[in-house]
Structure 1
């Protein structure tokens, strides 16, 4: 268990070329193929959760709540996928059941990490709602008005701009806090605070590579949603495995 005095200075950062994220994806694909059954099972869980989100996506507040729920489950699924790659790196056998080991071994840190992501999301959407309410007296169309109608046509330009900007800032914050957090938690057993500070350190020191990495994540996730979540069954484990290789290459123990 990580000490409260543990510092990110214990884990120096290796700089990587800007194009390195493409290599992480190739390595992630190879790892996905190696443990395809367990990997696709994790992807299926996220696809199922996403289908619940898409079951009713006609109101901004519902979408905000769904995003918060996704941020709770996301670290859990990512931990399982990273565990598959970690075991392969160490020559250890691992199936779907074995990939769930971090959930008990690192439960406290993963919970704190998920809570931090949800705090960022709730804080962002709350500030957006407060801004809209103080300026216009309405944070979104009524739920009744959007059940049978087109929610986009009922949003005011200010509401569209505010929620779009909020989502962009939220996505950036979540990305910066999670670049290497989950694989570091399950590999080094550090607490969530050390892992998130390490992610921020990695993101700022390898900014060009992080821009490309973030762009690839956005493109793949967009593909997953564009295929009505069928593609997400493959996208989620691919990104999870690639995240392990990003962590392994950029972070080393002193």
Structure 2
């Protein structure tokens, strides 16, 4: 009798510990065209909270201007393009405040710019880990771009900023430089997308480690590769178009993609 009671007590404790343990997030399948629904939901969030989105997007635009001015001022005009392209790598972390805005709106909680910034603090150490990982990818990309530029054009190639575009167009090394540089950029961007597609919204939403969030994000990307390929393509096209008018388009595209990313996470991770 005592043995049975002890076994029953042990089973109860095991059941209680299992109930308290966090469950592994389930990954939901997504139709290949599902990203359009995420964009629509992101647009609704942006229109419901325009003061949040456009302030956020405006801050990103100003940051782009400041970074470009600094690079031009120190005489490394060639670095403007890779630094701008590296925006794709770190943007998911920058948008943490937008994920928080969508999370609060979904729950019917009050939304303000100050409250949205809490998205960076709720799971701060793990978000910082993700930030370091994405920043290292960004810095690695900038260094690779600089190395490729030196290899193809030589260390002495340093025309003035106003003559740089024509000098590049006249060079016979431009095409191989673009092909190889784009290939390297594609690989790094693919890695960054896979590890952060839903990881950062998940860190804003849940008490979970960065490594767990990365694993879930990679699984989501692999299991829904058609939808995620379309989603990545839409992000690239929208952001590239936003960057063309000297970053001005980011005032709209940054909050739109940020809100939509939250809905992608909510749709794919149950």
For the 8 Å contact 1:40–1:234, the answer to whether it is kept is: yes
Please show how residues 97-246 of structure 1 align to structure 2 within 5 Å.
97-126=114-143, 136=151, 141-142=155-156, 144-151=158-165, 152-153=168-169, 156-157=173-174, 158-246=176-264
Unaligned runs of 5+ in 2: 1-20
Q: Distance in 2 between matches of 1:140 and 1:19?
A: 45
**Shift in CA distance, 181/75, structure 1 to aligned 2, threshold 3 Å:** same
- 1:116, distance to aligned residue in structure 2 (A): 0.8
Query: TM-score of the superposition, structure 1-length normalised?
Result: 0.83
Cα deviations by residue, 1:121-164 (Å, 9 ceiling, x for unpaired): 3334545666777xx5x675557434342252358244333322
Q: Distance in 2 between matches of 1:191 and 1:39?
A: 27
**Shift in CA distance, 125/140, structure 1 to aligned 2, threshold 3 Å:** farther
Residue 30 of structure 1 corresponds to which residue in structure 2? 44
Residue 80 of structure 1 corresponds to which residue in structure 2? 97
Q: Distance in 1 between matches of 2:247 and 2:215?
A: 32
Q: Distance in 2 between matches of 1:29 and 1:82?
A: 13
Unaligned runs of 5+ in 1: 1-6
Q: Distance in 1 between matches of 2:205 and 2:111?
A: 15
The 3-state SS of whatever aligns with 1:147 is coil
Residue 11 of structure 2 corresponds to which residue in structure 1? none
Query: TM-score of the superposition, structure 2-length normalised?
Result: 0.78
After superposition, the CA RMSD in angstroms is 2.8
Instruction: Name which one, 1 or 2, has greater alpha-carbon Rg.
Output: 2
Q: Distance in 2 between matches of 1:71 and 1:183?
A: 15
Residue 5 of structure 2 corresponds to which residue in structure 1? none
Q: Distance in 1 between matches of 2:193 and 2:250?
A: 18
**Shift in CA distance, 156/59, structure 1 to aligned 2, threshold 3 Å:** farther
Range with bigger deviation, 172-181 or 159-168:
159-168
Residue 248 of structure 1 corresponds to which residue in structure 2? 266
For the 8 Å contact 2:42–2:259, the answer to whether it is kept is: yes
Q: Distance in 2 between matches of 1:202 and 1:155?
A: 42
**Shift in CA distance, 44/132, structure 1 to aligned 2, threshold 3 Å:** closer
**Shift in CA distance, 85/155, structure 1 to aligned 2, threshold 3 Å:** farther
